Structure 1
Amino acid sequence: MKIRWSRTTPQLALGPAVILTMIAFVGSIAWTIYVSFTTSRRLPDYAIDWSEPLRQYSRLFRDSAWQTSLSNLIILALGSALAIVFGFLLAAMIERERRGEDFFRTVFLYPLAVSLIVTGVAWRWIFNPQLGIEHFLHGLGWTSVNFNWLADGDTAMYAIILASVWQSSGFYMALMLAGLKSIPDEIWSAARLDGVSLWRVYLEIIIPMMKFTFLTCAILLSLGVIKAYDIVVAMTNGGPGQSTWVPAYFTINAMTNKGNLGYASAAATMMLVLTLLVFLPLVLLTVWQQRRKKTGGAA
């Protein structure tokens, strides 16, 4: 029996990559979940105490720092959603005003070229009362202005959100701009002939037609928020106190500072659960919408 190389060659070529993925990705996830049921400290201990296998998880949910991390995650998610809003507004303005499109698109995309660490350091300077906005405004005579948000636990998280929105708005603008360019010109012409106001065209026609673009942005945003770590380290290093801790920071801190591998693995496993709880519904909604669209188109 002759081997049909035209069919088997792609599978053979992909074989090493699939094996490597299974070992490095799926294997590491399985290892982390297993270690979370052990009492491992700095080094892994693979013996599970079956009298209390959920010891690390019960301790995790009693930890006030973990509860703070979850609260901050919700705040960060809600605040970071503004990046999608600003991205759409920027894309709408650029798309409507074609002149200078390349220039403004480059300007708004520029923050994306800067890493989150650099972004965090730059915004830490901006919020520094001796160097940043507060110092500038005091020089203008507005001495009552207080812009030292990073020193206050009640406002530090909002400073991180502001920096995150600045860094990511250009990325969502590019996605929205691609979605807007896919809208047929006949839609705009028909709306113009009917005398429909511009804001109604966007709210009632354009935005519903771009639902897949918004879902894609929501998926990418949710993944970025759950794994947020770099910008927190660069701007506040979790402070003041524990006011800006997020799950990723909590997990790394449990491993590096506390030297508790089992506890850190439990936190990492819960991060995976959070990712699945957010990611899977959005993906399933996207697939359902696409199938519904195909079914409607076929009908």
Structure 2
Amino acid sequence: MALRWSWAAPRIALVPALAITLVGFAGSIGWTIFQSFTQSRRFPEYAIDPARWLSQYERLFANDTWWTALQNLLVLAIGSALAIVFGFILAALVEREKFGEGVFRTILLYPLAVSLIVTGLVWRWIFNPSLGVEAFLRANGFPDASFNWLAAPETAMYGIILASIWHGLGFYMALMLAGLKSINTEIWSAARLDGVGVMRLYVEIIVPMMKFTFLTCAILLSLGVVKAYDIVVAMTNGGPGTSTWTPAYFAINAYSTRSNIGFASAAAVIMLLITLAIFLPLVVITAWQARRSEAVRG
């Protein structure tokens, strides 16, 4: 049977994209994993010493700064999760405000149009004691006001979290708003007729119905947190000291400052494993929930 062009054409069109994906994505991952087992420094090496093939990982987990970066990753993940919570609250408020929905949605989505570098710089000015909130408060009768979080190791990470929440809040609000609009209006009407309170309605009915939306937000948030780098550079450049280092910042610093490809590759591989440990369970749960919902409807 002759090969039909209508069948072959779309597959041929996908070949360049598939080749770029294999070489640029899968290939770079494989190359990074391989380099993590070598003693590569400024330039890559392609010989693995059997007696020292895990030396980069041993150095990595013996490094106190790496453990600080992992702790900051956990703090950033927990803090940034508030963007999902606040995004849902804002979506619920905007969804109930029929007349001003478009205006509020536009205003709250505006931070998403700003890059993380610009976001970091803006919040750095806000935390600046000479230019930002602290200067404003002191000029208006609060001489003891202090809002210089980025200067103290104990609070610098919270400043980054605050900026991250501000940047991503509108995005998660938009996702939640789409989820709320997908809910059948009869459910709202039935709840009102039954006298169900607003809080109980959201907690017991609406939130469970939006589990796929919450899982999607969690997946996107986890990917953004693991690769957090640009906002750290813009706000603190890792300081004070190493108090705001993240795994991504650590890996890039190991390559750019220490000129150690093997060490940076080992950090990148651990980042990949962290991403898989977070991402894969969420994807599996999402797929399982989808099949379960289809089985119930069927």
TM-score normalised by the chain length of structure 1:
0.99
Q: Percent identity?
A: 66
Q: Which residue of 2 aligns with 1:44?
A: 44
Q: How far off is 1:243 after superposition?
A: 0.1
Q: Residues 223-257 of structure 1: CA distance to partner in whole angstroms, max 9, x if unpaired? A: 00000001000000000000000000000000000
Deviation at 1:6, TM superposition (A): 1.5
2:215 alignment counterpart: 215
Q: Counterpart of 1:24?
A: 24
Counterpart in 1 of 2:139? 139
Superposed displacement of residue 133, structure 1: 0.3
Tell me the residue number matched to 2:83: 83
Other-structure match for 1:197: 197
Q: How many angstroms does 1:25 deviate by?
A: 0.5
What residue number does 2:239 align with? 239
TM-score by length of 2: 0.99
Tell me the alpha carbon deviations over residues 34-84 of structure 1, each in whole angstroms, 9 at most, x when there is no partner: 000000000001111101210000110010010000000000000000000
| Matched letter for residue 177 of structure 2 | L
Deviation readout 1:201-220 (Å, 9 max, x if unpaired): 00000000000000000000
Unaligned runs of 5+ in 2: none
C-alpha displacement of 1:19: 1.1
CA distance in 2, matches of 1:203, 1:13: 47
Equivalent residue for 2:282?
282
- Matched with 1:61 is 61
Q: Give how far 1:119 is off.
A: 0.3
3-state SS in 2 of match to 1:206: helix
What letter corresponds to residue 280 of structure 1 in structure 2?
Answer: L
Structure 1 residue 99 displacement after superposition: 1.2
SS in 1 for 2:43: coil
Structure 1: runs of 5+ lacking an equivalent:
none
* 1:92-171 map, 5 Å: 92-171=92-171
CA-to-partner distance for each residue in 1:130-166, whole Å, 9 max, x for gaps? 0000000001111111111000000000000000000
Root-mean-square deviation (CA, aligned residues, Å) is 0.6
Q: Report how far residue 196 of structure 1 moved.
A: 0.5
CA distance in 2, matches of 1:56, 1:135: 46
Q: For residues 135 and 17 of structure 1, what CA distance do their matches in structure 2 show?
A: 52
What does the per-residue CA deviation read over 1:250-282, in whole Å, with 9 as the maximum and x for residues that have no partner? Answer: 000000000000000000000000000000000
The residue identity in structure 2 corresponding to 1:81 is A
1:167 positional shift: 0.5
Residue type of the alignment partner of 2:96: R
Which aligned runs of 4 or more in structure 1 are off by greater than 4 angstroms? none
2:63 aligned partner, one-letter code: D
